[in-house]
Structures are given as structure tokens and as C-alpha cells.
Structure 1
């Protein structure tokens, strides 16, 4: 029996620009391994960095926001599974999917918890400790409502699974842990990587459309890097990222060794030639793709507790986790200068990838859960009264706003 998947994307996947793009391709590969025919639809305009989905057998379709043309499209496609890329897409299209294809399994991929990231950003701005007062923000309320309206939600971080269960009281039956899905790093792969003495420079990388990345680079420029240069006056920091705005380009200073390099065509080349990766993130959520890249290519990292969250489990990190700026700098210098420490931390990174993010294990778990939930969909939904309540017409402000906009645009 043919199985059809519709993915409704917030943006078109850009694996060279962001970890979100890489994750989306990993999810596509999961479904393809179970012989799904896949359509990827998005209301977003494509950029030059968009991945060629047709090259991997996925059909791309442009759709419109607030337009009934989607109703006919999804009804004719009649997918078995619909996956929403971030809660905003579920808000926009979830009610239409429910009306036209009520038997389709609805899955939400959060990417990371937007409400958690927003709450941490608000706390940082006020200078106050992060608390439930900041966590229970308007973005979180919308996101949790979306989780309840869906049959299954993919969560990339164990820390976020625990937060959803403990602080938001979301039933475990609605959640599935699905981290980055990676191939094993073999000894032969490791042997091919440049050694300590062949590597130079610090590196920082991140998509600048993502606010935590800009904040981290500004923090590097104003606080961290001047202290590193005092101890390592000849060191350089290479800053890479997609969609570099002018306010970041203005931070470029060759005299200080603070170099804005822009878009990285091949992250592998950038990362494996660097000696240390810096990720002083002060707010954010989810798993950090930059740390995964660093571990895969043997580059130890110094990051914060925000950056490390959900990444290492009970294993030793691939570098150091420090929130105090002076200690952060001291650990940067130690990694950069001491080959023994550097090699130990590099090996930790390989162990983490090979232990915690193996594609084969999570693929089996994921496909099994999708199959089980599909078979028991009626009972599964019956046990989710909160989700039924949030589908009720009096709660669907997004639906009626969309209908109003459509009428207004006629």
C-alpha cells in the first residue's frame, strides 16, 4: 500500500545555512527508508541556498497562506501523514488538514522549543534569573497548544522532553525524542582529520537569521575575544554564518584578529581546519548544530550551559562548559595551547556522536512509533481531551483570522 507524507515547511530546507535544514533532510530520509512518497510544501519564497529536493525524489510545491487553494491541494493529495515544520505552520494549516484529511496522522516537529528560547531571551534582557514567569510566555502558550492539537510531536532535546513533562504537564504519549541522526565516526575517518599541530585559529559559526547567534558573536566581540587576545596576542577568530547583516560585518577587525568570513560553502573544511570552536550562547533552545559539526570534525568546543543543554547526556563534553566569562576564556586558552587536553576532548566528541546520535537506532524507534500511533489513532485522540478541546471552534482564532484575511484579499 502506497504511503504519502506531506511536509509543510516554515522555510525551504537549507542544510548549508542552518542545523534546522540539516535536520529536515534527516527526517525526510527517515520516511524514505519506510517507502513514503514525499511532498514538501511551503508558503516561503526560495532562496539561492535552498536544497534541491527533487534531486532526492521529493516533490516541492508552493502553497499560499490564508487561501482555500490549500484545501483542494491537500484533499487531492490525501496524505497518510502530515508533518508541520514548527508550530507556526500547524497554526496556519493544521485546521485545514483536519477538515480535509481527518484520518491523516498529524506530526509536529518543533525544531527547538520556541517558547523556551523566547523566555530565556526575555530574562537575559531584564537581567533576571530565568524562571517559570519567563517560561510561560505567549509564544510558549501557542506552541504547547499546537503540541496538544497534533498526534505526535518530535522533540530534539532530552532536556526539552523533561521540561514539557514536568513544567507544562504534557503527556508522554504525545512526545517523541528525535535528536540529530548521524553516521558513526570510524577510526579511518578520524585518521584523515588534521592533527593538533596542523590546525590554526578559533572559529564561530551560525545562521545570523537566528537571534541567539548574533547575540553570541556580539558577546565574543565585546567581552570574550579581548580577553583571549591578551593571553594569545597572535590568535585569530574566524566568524562564519549565513545571512550576515551589516551590523555583523561592522564587527570585522583584522588588527584584533576578529574576522567576519560570511557564508561557509563547506562547513567540514572550516571546522576541521580550526583548532577550537567557540559557542558562548546566552539564550536559545534545542540542540546546537555547530557543536555537532565540531564533534564530527574533531574540533573541541568551549560553550555555555545553554549551548551544552541536551547534548552530552552523562558523557564528558568535547571541551568545556563555562558561563563565567573569565573561566570561559581560560578554558579557550587551555584548549588552544595544550595538545594533551585538546586530544582528550576531541575523543570525547567522537564518543558522544557514536553513542548518542546514531541514525539506525532512532530510525527504528521513530518508524515503530509512527506505525503504532497510526493503528491506534482513534483511541490515541480520544485520550487527548485537551487536544480535542483546542480543536473546538471557540478556540480557533487562527482559523477565523485566516478566513477573514482571505475574504479581505478577494
Structure 2
């Protein structure tokens, strides 16, 4: 029972569990039923949406069918358009090709037009220049001739008068008592006047007739020997007499060694010829027309011409030596034949199809004399037909091709107009020492009859240790290929192969360029290049700054640099002065062929050194140099510290604007000096100022280099000399001398003032009219040779009240042994000792006293003269200055600064710095009295230019 009951309980539990599960199932069923109802509702909605979509699809399908139809139509139209496009494209390509051809022709026409316009402009300028020169020469000649005629008429009139006076006195009673004495004195005066007039007239006529120097010397010797008794007061006669006396006391015959016999020429000009007599006659005419100063002979070597050379040459040019080959041998053997018969120390080979230009021979002989290391030196060859360069020397490439430098350019192109080393120069015009030519056994006969004999000679000279140069200032018009015509062309290729085989290894090692194209693409420079920038082209005969610039450039050339020069204020070619640099071997940047910024843009990379003179030029070129030459070492040559001079001038005049300008200059100058690799000053005081007061460590004292000319003894000296350019300190110094010193001197005191620019500028300024009209002042303007003035001067004066640097005028005076009286400004920073080698005058009274003491005390005069010469030899010795420069360059190389510092250093000062400096200067001016303004802490620091 209990068991049944338990089972019943279990069954009931299971039933309850089943019921619970059933209820859960019912609940789930209801939930599922609800979900099914929802799903049916959603299905109905979906069916509705599907029906809508089917309607939209049917619409879209209809639209798609329509679009497909339109697309088919479009494709058809596109095919038609593509056909038309291909046709149009073809026509466009054809038109484009025609347009390119037209543009090419137009560019060529434009280039040719520009070239012709340039040539035309150059020709017009040359014609105009020549017309002006001719007019000026004619005007000068006419004026000189008129003056000579007037002098002759005056001399004749005076002679007639004196002769009449003599005749009237001859029978007078008074003459019997004292006439012989008076007449003798009057006759002596008459003879002196006539002698001077004859000499002046003769000199003028010789200048007009362009007589050679040797002929002038002979005439002068005859006149001085025959008419010396009436030329005793003539300076030239006294110089000639003194030289002859010296030679006589030395056991030499007067005039010995001054004349060159006609059979002993310096240069033998050898002209190989074969027919073309007309060319030869034109060539000879050009040689004799230019009247070279160098003695020469002309040897024409006839290579069996069919022209009548013998009779024609003997008729027109009897002075020419004529040699003839036994048989026709070609150019090479004919040239060697002429060299064997030459008498000159130099031999010059010249083609007969050339016409030489004035200066041609003198430039070559001078260059060869000045360069003992030279093998051959050649002329610049100019095409006769085009007027453009045929060559200005030649390089030889590694592949054996010749590179004629400058071909097609203007003769004055700066890149090809300076004396420089080349591989060889065409034998159309080359000069050599005869000893060197003989040592080389002449032109190598392997290349006979012609071609490649001149480049072969050039390389043989190089291999023997000589250097070959081109002298572009020696110019020759050359027809080219007319000497022997085309008769030798068949040998050209054979000789080319011989030349290449002989020199291929040498060229592989020494040639700069692989091919001529490589030269056109990029220039190569085997030596260090230095860019030298200054205010103007150096004019050594017109100022001390020019002498210094010439010295520096010559120094760098001797040390193996390639030097390139630009003068900011003289951008064009200045014939006399630019040619001095070109002759030295300095490449010059000048317009119109080259502009400085264009040159720097294309060539700045090539410079390893920069040498910039004067702060104003450093400012002008600062950004260009930073941009195009950041790699270069920088040397700043102050010439003098400009801000010191400007401060002294401002304090002297009490001018606020001057003080402001001086403050700006000070900021500029110190910024450049501190950032340069080296800064050059010529005054010891300026070196101390920069180092001690401004903390600069790269300052070098490089004094002015001056050679001692020597003192001329035994001459009568008189008067004083002032030498100066149109520089404000010089003009102020003359005013000071005139107003305060001259009144204290004797009335017969005379001051000779040398300086063309100084005179011309003062003439334009009314405030200096009293100086120009002063009877005790003589303005002689430009003097070619200072010896003409200083050799007879008693003393020189330097009455400067302010300036900077050292004074070249003081060194020039000492160079000739002439004592100098100077203010404190004239000797500061030099190390000169007052009373030993110069006289110092601080006041007008001291100036007058010193001038008079030199005139009255011969012992004092000689002491100061000897002391000055000794000081100059020691302190300004060029060799010592060069040694100092060597030391500076070595120091720069060893301690090169990081050029990024220089590139980032601001040269232009901040405005607040300028304002502060200006305020300080203004306060100093307001609280200083007139006496205090004349003194300054800068007074002992520097001097102005000569």
C-alpha cells in the first residue's frame, strides 16, 4: 500500500511536471502564433512592395531599352567623330611640323639679326670712336702746330729785334766803354731763348711726325752736342750732360750702348711665301706702317713662287731680306729655312695672308722678355672677312681635336682678351727665342710639307718645361688658308694620324677636356681662381690705391692664381688702364660683353677666393657673393677704415648727417670685417683699433709695397709739392694750407699741386676759386712720371686734418728721397719717427717753421731724405710685404671658417642699433665744445688715400 502510495505521489509529480511543460508549450505556441501573424502581415507588405518594385522594374526596363537605342545611335556618331578626329589630328601634326620649321627659321633669323645688329652697333661705335679720336688728334695736332708756328714766329721776331738792336749798338759810343760786357750778357740771353724755342719746336715736330725713338735719340744727341752752349738752363740738356759725364768717367764713350746697329735686330720676322704677291705686299705695308719701337728685320722666304717676288720686293721694300728655296718645299721647311738665316734674338713667324695691327710686335716682344719661362707666344687672330675671332690661342683635347678659343666671338670678348697660358698658338703669328727654337730643332720635318707642325711644337715645348701663351693685345687680321691655298690639304689627314699616335698618352694625362663639346658644356680650371672686386680699374699713375691694387693682383698671379677683376664704378673697358691688367694676365669683367651679376651667376662656382676692396663694394656685392660663391674664402681689404675717416670728418665739421652716415658705415664695416676669413688694414693703428676695441682676431697689417726710386743728387731744388686725388681730405687739406699756413710763408714760396681729378673737381666748385687763382699755387694736373716733379722739388707737404689708412703720397715722396712735412694724420699707423725720416707739424706755425728749416738747413734736409729712404726700404719693401701675404694665406687655409657663418651673418645692421648709435653721436656733439670736437679718440687711427 505504502509502495502504491509512493508510486502515486511520483506519478502525480510527473503529472504536475507534464502539466507545467504543457502550459509552457501552450505559451510558446501562442507566442509562435503571434509571430506567425506578424510574419504574415510583413509578408503582405513585402508582397505589396514587390508588386511596386515590379512595376518600377518594368518602367526601368522600358527606359533601358530606350537608352540602349540612344547609345547605339551615339556609338554610331562617335565612330564618325573618331574618323573626323583622326583626319583633323593628321592635319594638325602636319601644320605643327610646318610651324616648328617656321619657328626654327624665325629663331635663326632673329639670332642672325641680333648678331648683325650687335656687329653693326659695335662697328658704328668703333667708327664713331675712331672719328672722335681722329678729330681730337687732328685738333691737337693743329693746335700744337699752330703753337709751334707761333713760337717760331716769336723766336724769329725776337731774333730780328735783337739783331737790329745789335746793329744799332755796334757803332755806338757807349759800346766802346762797356758794350762788350753788356752785349755778351744780352747775347747769352738771346741764345738761351733761341735754344729753348728750337728744342720746343723740334720736340713738337717730332711728335707730329711720329718719329721712332731711336731716331729721336740720335737727333737729341746731335742737337745737345752742337747747341749745348745755349741750352744750359734746359733740364733735358742738363740730364743728358750728367749721363755723358758719368759714362765718360766710367771709361765709356758717350752714347755707347744707346744705339742698336741696323744689322743687329732684336726680332727677325720670317714670312714664308708661295705666290700671292698681293697678300705679301699688304702684309709688309702693315708691318712698316705701325712703326714698332722694337728693332726688327723682315725675312721673306720664297718657296719657288711663279710671281715676280724678287724685282717687286727690291723695288718697294729694299730693306727686306729675301731668301729663296732651291725647290718647292712647303710651309714647314720654308719656315725652318728662314729661322736658320735669322739674326735676331727672337724669331717671329708670320703668314703672308695677314695684316698686323698697331702694337702687334711690341706686345709680343715685351711679353717674351717679361716671361723667360715662355716657349711660344702667339697673337690673337681675327678673320679679315667677318671681323670676329679666328682664335685666341688653342687647347688640345684628349681625343686630339684642336679647340680654337673664342672662334666666332668679338675680339674684345673678356674671356679671350687677357694674356694666358694655352697649349699652342697657330703659326700664323708666333714669337719664340731663337735659342729655344734651335733647341727644339725647329718644326719637326716629319710633318712636312705642312699641318700639325705648330701643335706638335707646342706640346714639345710643354714637355721640355716651357709654357705657351697667347697675347690678345697683339692682334693680326688673317684671311686663313690663303698662304699656301689648298695645295697641302692632301697631307692633313696623314699628319693628323702621326700627331695622335705621338701624343695620345701625353694628352690623356695632361689635356683638360675630352672633346671640344666638353669645353662648351662646362669650363674647367686647373688653378685656384680669385675674384678681385674694387671701386674702379686701378690707375697706378693717378693714385696710391691703384698702385696697391696692381701689387695685390700681381702677387696673386705670381702665386699661381687665376685672377678675375671687376671695377664697380668703371664697368666698361678703359683702354689704357684695363689693358694693363689684361697684359698682366688678369681676366676682366666689363660691359657690354659681360655684366657682373650674369658673370657671377654662371661662373661663381669656379672661385675659391674672394678679394674685396673697400666697404662700399663689399656692401654692393654681398648678396651676389653669398648666393653664387658661398664656397669661396673671403679676404676683405679695407684700403682704409672708412668709418674712422667719416667720423673724423663729421667731428671736424660738426655735421649731424655726417655722423649718422659714419655710424652706418661703422656697422657695415665691422660686420664685414668680423665675418671675413681675413681683414687687411694698412695702418698699425687700425689693426690695434679693430683688435683691442672691437675684439676682431682675423686682422692683418699689410703695409703699402713701394720700391725705392732713389734720390737725384746734383740738381737745383726749389718749391714744395702736394700730391692728391679729388678726395675730401685732400681738398680740405689744401684749404687749410692756403688759409692758415701760406700766410706764414715767404711771398716767393711756390706749391706745385699734382692731381688731374683734384684740379678738375675744384674748378667745378666756386668755394675753391681763390685756391685756383692763388699765384703761389700751380696746378699741374696729371703727371705721367712723378720723377718729373719730385726730382727737382725741395720738399712735399701733407697738411691733412683727417683721414684713415696710410698716405701713399708720403711713401711716394720718400721713394724719391724728398723730405716730407706732414700733419699727424699723415704719419699715423706707419711707424715713422718725427725728426728722423719725416717732419711733424701739428699747427700752422710748426708747418711754416718746418718748411723754412728744410730750405735753410742742408744737413737737416739730407738727414730727413736719407732717413725716409732707409725707412721705405725696410718697412715698405715689396718682398717683405709678399712674405706677410704668404703668411696670411697660409693662416686662412689652416683656419678656414665655416662659410655658413659668413653666409648667415647680417651685414645690414638693425635699425634700433643705428638709432642708438646716432643718438649717442648727437649727444656727444651737443655737449662737446669747438676745441673738443677737433680732438677725438679716433684721431690716431688712420689716414686717407693719396
Residue 3 to residue 68, structure 1, CA distance change in 2 (3 Å): closer
Whether contact under 8 Å (1:41, 1:63) holds in the other structure is no
Could you state the TM-score of these two structures normalised by the residue count of structure 1?
0.83
Give the structure 1 partner of residue 399 of structure 2: none
Which residue of structure 2 aligns with residue 359 of structure 1? 878
Aligned-pair CA distance for 1:11: 1.0
Query: In 1, Cα distance between the equivalents of 2:810 and 2:903?
Result: 39
TM-superposed CA distance for 1:157, in Å, is: 0.8
Cα distance in 1 between the residues matched to 2:769 and 2:788: 22
Q: Of 701, 711, 729, which aligns to 1:212?
A: 729
Bigger mean CA offset, 338-347 vs 137-146: 137-146
Counterparts of 1:75 and 1:202 in 2: how far apart (Å)? 49
| 1:181 partnered with 2:710 | no
1:224 to 719, 738, 741: 741
Corresponding residue for residue 853 of structure 2:
334
Aligned-residue offset at 1:271? 1.7
Cross-structure match for 1:81:
609
- Deviates further, 109-118 or 267-276: 267-276
**Structure 2: runs of 5+ lacking an equivalent:** 1-525, 912-946
- 1:236 to 2:750 alignment: yes
Contact map agreement 1:178 1:366 (CA 8 A) in 2: yes
Per-residue deviation, 1:365: 2.4
- Structure 1 residues 103-112 or 357-366, which shifts more? 357-366
Instruction: For 1:234 and 1:263, locate their aligned partners in 2 and report how far apart those are by CA, in whole Å.
Output: 24
CA displacement 1:8-54 (0-9 Å, x = unmatched) = 12111111111111100011121112011111112322567635211
Counterpart-to-counterpart distance in 1, 2:602 and 2:612: 16
Relative to its length, the structure with more helix (as a share) is 2
Alignment of 1:21-36 (within 5 A): 21-36=546-561
Q: Deviations over 1:212-258 (max 9, x none)?
A: 011111111111112112xxx3221111113122145652346x422
* Alpha-carbon contact 1:253-1:259 (below 8 Å) kept: no
Q: For 1:264-279, what aligned pairs fall within 5 Å after superposition?
A: 264-279=783-798
2:629 match: 101
Matched, 1:251 2:778: no
Q: Report the equivalent of 2:222.
A: none
Q: How does 1:297-316 map to 2 (within 5 A)?
A: 297-313=816-832
Change (3 A) 1:381 1:28: same
Kept in 2: contact 1:85–1:109 (CA 8 A): yes
| Bigger CA radius of gyration | 2
Query: Which secondary structure does the structure 2 equivalent of 1:112 belong to?
Result: coil
Instruction: Give the match's secondary structure for 2:607.
Output: coil
Does structure 1 residue 202 correspond to structure 2 residue 720? Answer: yes
The two structures, once aligned, show a CA RMSD in angstroms of 2.9
Q: Name the structure 2 match of 1:403.
A: none
Matched, 1:390 2:921: no
Does the CA-based 8 Å contact 1:3-1:80 persist in structure 2? yes
2:601 equivalent to 1:72: yes
Q: 1:41 to 1:392 in 2, by over 3 A?
A: closer
Counterparts of 1:16 and 1:139 in 2: how far apart (Å)? 29
Q: Which runs of 5+ in 1 are unaligned?
A: 397-410
**Residues 45-75 of structure 1 deviation map (CA, whole Å, 9 limit, x = unaligned):** 2567635211211111127999852442432
Aligned mate of 1:50, from 577, 582, 586: 577
Contact 1:312-1:352 within 8 A present in 2 as well: no
Deviation (angstroms), 1:329? 0.8
2:691/2:699 contact within 8 Å kept: no
Does the 8 Å CA contact 2:794/2:855 hold for their aligned counterparts? yes
Q: 1:146 to 1:263 in 2, by over 3 A?
A: same
CA pair 105-160 structure 1, distance change in 2 beyond 3 A: same
Provide the C-alpha distance between the structure 2 equivalents of 1:315 and 1:4, rounded to a whole number of angstroms: 43
Deviations 1:324-378 (A, max 9, x none): 111111111101221111000001101110111111122122123213313432x
Which SS does the other structure have where 2:588 is aligned? strand
| 8 Å Cα contact 2:668/2:909 also seen in 1 | no
CA contact (8 A) 1:81 1:105 kept: yes
User: 2:674 matched to which residue of 1?
Assistant: 148
How many positions carry a matched residue from both structures? 374
> CA 1:211–1:258 in 2, change beyond 3 Å: closer, same or farther?
same
Q: Equivalent residue of 1:283, what SS?
A: coil
Q: Aligned pair in 2 of structure 1 residues 298, 135: CA closer, same or farther (>3 Å)?
A: farther
Matches of 1:347 and 1:37, distance apart in 2: 40
User: What is the deviation of 1:165?
Assistant: 1.2
Q: 2:535, 2:568 within 8 Å by CA — same for their partners in 1? A: yes
2:544 maps to 1:16: no
More relative contact order in 1 or in 2 (CA 8 Å, sep 6+)?
1
1:345–1:8: structure 2 CA closer, same or farther, 3 Å change rule?
same
